[in-house]
Structure 1
Amino acid sequence: MTEPEAHESRRAVLHRSWAADLDAVTLYALLRLRSEVFVVEQASPYLDPDGRDLLPATRHLWIGEEGRIVATARLLEHDEPGGPVFQIGRLCVARSARGRGDGARLLVAALAEVGDRPCRLEAQTYLVAMYARFGFERAGAEYMEDGIPHVPMLRRGRV
């Protein structure tokens, strides 16, 4: 786990952990927030725990504030011909914490982990412009997943 980075205007702390180093209480809090946003708030019943949260190469990033997790993202690493490709997913922010830049802060932290290597994500369509500001481009047609329109996006590697 890396040292937390404190945010000046609030007591929000950015954390990063490999899957193997993630304790059960934190994993539970991450899964709870994801369920609150993706399942309850977006009324999209789907099985969030997909078996990838505890893979050895999985990294979890989250922002904690006053004893609770207010934002989270997951970074997967896939070995592919030509080298590793990363995938950012499960990025969400608690309703009470939106509009403060926590989602962008997590995205910047995840992209720092990725470096100059390629990175994919499956964006909810309404967020395409936000991800484009971070160098992601559409990489396919819009599709429906769990009743929500999504667009595959790719940030090409610079290696």
Structure 2
Amino acid sequence: MVLNVITKTFDELSNVELYKLLSLRNEVFIVEQNCPYLDIDNKDQKCYHLLLSNNDTLVGYSRIIPAGLSYNEVSIGRVLIAPDFRGKGLGLKIVEESIQSCINIFGNVDIKIGAQFHLSNLYGSFGFIKDGEPYDEDGILHIDMIRFSNKDLK
């Protein structure tokens, strides 16, 4: 598998890239997780979009969110791996690349996330610590986590 990682602003995305990422987000977060919610939330235009591709196939995605838009800190959201590409270690790859993208764009800053609770150990392996109590978001247990800027990337 030959992986390509690229991070773009909303305006830099091609129509095809935007269609692919919105389609994959819809497939995973709305259909697969059975969560009818408004994925298109007027944040995408202000965010950076990390695309993990194998040839022309989008296999992973995350949204890099500037400070003040979701949290006071920079954030990573909408992290996903396409169903056909799970179990290959790509979850670790997308988290690592997302953290690196935050650092490249914003400098060595604190990063806060709203993680699905069952993934808190995965995020913990990258230096994220729990920040508060678990909460329900669209029927899925989540927890806020923060990675302080003094952490080294794996």
Alignment TM class, shorter chain as reference = 0.7 to 0.9
1:3-152 to structure 2, matched below 5 A, reads 10-55=1-46, 58-79=47-68, 85-115=73-103, 116-152=108-144
Instruction: Answer with 138-147 or 10-19: which moved more.
Output: 10-19
Give 4+ residue runs of structure 1 displaced > 4 Å after superposition: none
Matched residue count: 145
| Structure 2 spans left out of the alignment, 5+ residues | none
Contact 1:88 1:119 in 2 (8 A): yes
Structure holding more helix per residue? 2
Alpha carbon RMSD of aligned pairs, Å? Answer: 1.7
Aligned AA (1:63): L
Following superposition, the deviation at residue 14 of structure 1 comes to 1.4
Structure holding more strand per residue? 1
| Structure 1 spans left out of the alignment, 5+ residues | 1-9
Aligned AA (2:16): V
Q: TM-score, normalised by structure 2?
A: 0.88
Contact 2:4 2:55 in 1 (8 A): no
Q: TM-score, normalised by structure 1?
A: 0.85
Rounded Cα–Cα distance in structure 1 between residues aligned with 2:55 and 2:102: 29
Percent identity between the two aligned chains: 33
Contact 1:63 1:102 in 2 (8 A): no
